A = this chain, B = another copy of it.
């Protein structure tokens, strides 16, 4: 290829100069805010330490991975999964270090379920004896495990799964059998190609002396499914990968059917449930087991990670739109004024800056959930279950809201970058595709809001039915206060007072809670007729928590200097007021916000964006997301956007090594090869 392009430079002003200027003109320190965000758990030190090791590995270079076929892409993921596990051995990494490595490599690893749901379920549901047998094998990766619950026809409704585990008293064993095609396990990660063991959820059926069967609902079995030598499925088991998906193509999501497959009595995880091998009788604890706790932990992590993912998209969008210039100011009096940075347009700011604010809110909220989980866990160990239902409900509401915000937000950031946002150089393609699983997994975002709403209705019932009594429950107390004053206008100063802004969110939550309580409890309306209202109620709770946590985190952070705090407070206000604006009428109707404030909102939001704008680059820098993770020409720290786009296209793109034959009358595709179209299809 000719080398004259090597002598060309991008037009002025160039990216590095622009970013240097952006960084210098803002008085806030990215370093200071970064420490404020991450100092609590050594995140930044861990990131730096692990990153240095990963960047030495050619196998972990990301530049070409989007070029691969599904089969090769998966092979690469397997190779990387093995390498990272070996690096763990070599460098003596903790579990957190190992997870950091996967976060930075940034692809779902086909080994993921082994150390997650497989191991966790053994820890939580296996008896001590079972743990003594299985855990050493799991920790050493002598076996590879997965978690098989969801089926072709049932996901959300776990009670509806069809796979059966029938107890055979003769041989004192269980028989796993899939009575229908829809009983096939489906979606189970790590199982499609990798695992040789799995936790298998199956409906336990015990024979009755009278002749029939009685079902005891889904129970967990630990089952070997593949041969340890040949790695082929055992007789009576059919397993495979379900195929390409929207994202997560480095994961081997499985199908799995059983044909009268026999497993021993010891396969039933029996920390809490038991089938007596002699009598075939079933026993379980009187109180339902508290498994919500770990789900809350998982969701706290999801919310925290949602913040990181959104910050990543915002980092790319802010840096690129600060560099990108397009159009002169049409009202400028200077005839030769230079083109404006795209980030200076309010139509770009309105899309990117509230999402940057949201990333901070999600970060603080994830952390608050994690602390809440820790506290509640401690309480549970002391026998106090009071807060369990609250944090389970809240975690449903937050998981739903936060993953939707991030899934939508990544795409908004991507689109804010115009054409180049659609190109592979954005670094947001795989992020977007993979992240879009999140609104569905761990509880569909439109389904689990019922759990949050259900809890809130209970609290409103308690408040309404005992409105004059003293109560310790914070939510009940707030609802009581609302009920006493709901005919008045609270008169919150949402534009002038940050606490009032939070109070307006709480007032609106209480108002929606009361309406829903009135519909369901007082007027006995059918649950399914109220689903939209329940969803709104859950969203209102999550938004209120998000906003309050944002403000509280800023107020309680002693380490923040006044200029940094003021900019972060502006972000808080921008996010809160953007939400108010989107739901203006709802806030108005219940009196949480007055008309004069709503009418002033557009100008206020625009003024906040103008105040935040000069600090935007430093604000995204404060997230300290390394270039290796961003993998983005548009979002590079040094601003060499156009050079990198050019380099990727001119030097790295394998398609440019193929010369085509464009003549449609000729079957040949690659010039001089004689290869026809059918040759490509027959490759698969």
Contacts and interface: CB of A to CB of B under 8 A. Distances in A.
B243 A157 contact: no
Interface in A245-267: 245-248, 252, 255, 257, 259
A68 B252 CA distance: 17
A548 interface: no
Interface string A71-111: 11011101111110110000000000000000000000001
Contact of A232 (B83, B415, B659): B659
Contacts of A218: none
A175 interface: no
B5 A160 contact: no
A133 interface: no
A152 interface: yes
Interface stretch (A284-292, A357-365, A525-533): A525-533
A82 B664 contact: yes
Contact of A182 (B10, B150, B252, B588): B10
Interface string A95-137: 0000000000000000100000000000000000000000000
Contacts of A447: 347
A345 interface: yes
Nearest to A605: B532
B10 A153 contact: yes
Given A79-B680, A664-B82, A10 B180 contact: yes
A78 B658 CA distance: 12
Interface stretch (A24-32, A299-307, A434-442): A434-442
Interface string A421-444: 111111001001000110111001
Contact of A193 (B144, B194, B439, B660): B660
A423 B254 CA distance: 12
A470 interface: no
A231 B75 contact: no
B326 A156 contact: yes
A418 interface: yes
A440 B418 contact: yes
A311 B372 CA distance: 45
Number of chain A interface residues as a range: 35 or more
A528 B419 contact: no
A238 B232 CA distance: 51
Contacts of A1: 238
A230 B425 CA distance: 30
Nearest to A70: B67
Nearest to A419: B155
Contacts of A411: 411, 436
Number of copies: 2
A608 interface: no
Nearest to A650: B240
Contacts of A681: 58-59, 61, 64, 76
B661 A67 contact: no
A348 to B, nearest CB: 7
Interface in A515-558: 526-529, 531-533, 535
B241 A649 contact: yes
A130 to B, nearest CB: 22
Contacts of A242: 423, 645, 648-649, 653
Contacts of A66: 70, 244
Given A72-B680, A157-B326, A346-B532, A645 B241 contact: no
A156 B192 contact: no
Given A231-B661, A238-B4, A326 B418 contact: no
Interface string A644-684: 01101110111110111111111101110001111011011
Contacts of A10: 152-153, 180-182
Interface in A580-607: 584-585, 588-589, 595, 598-599, 602, 606
A643 interface: yes
A642 B257 contact: no
- Among A10, A195, A244, A415, the one with the most B-chain Cβ atoms within 10 Å of its Cβ is A244
Interface stretch (A207-215, A327-335, A567-575): A327-335
A307 to B, nearest CB: 21
A2 interface: yes
A137 B11 CA distance: 37
A60 to B, nearest CB: 10
Contacts of A155: 326, 418-419
Given A588-B585, A653-B243, A194 B662 contact: yes
Interface string A321-354: 0001111011100000001100011111011000
Given A8-B257, A71-B67, A160 B339 contact: yes
A414 interface: yes
A414 B246 contact: yes
B67 A244 contact: yes
A531 B64 CA distance: 39
A446 interface: yes
A154 B350 CA distance: 22
Given A8-B180, A82-B667, A528 B345 contact: yes
A381 B192 CA distance: 64
A162 interface: yes
A530 to B, nearest CB: 9
A678 B642 contact: no
A196 interface: yes
A677 B76 contact: yes
Interface string A392-423: 00000000000000000001001110110111
Given A8-B180, A231-B671, 6 more contacts: A11-B183, A79-B678, A193-B660, A245-B429, A330-B527, A422-B440
The 5 closest A-B pairs by CB, nearest first: A79-B677, A584-B585, A240-B656, A8-B181, A69-B69
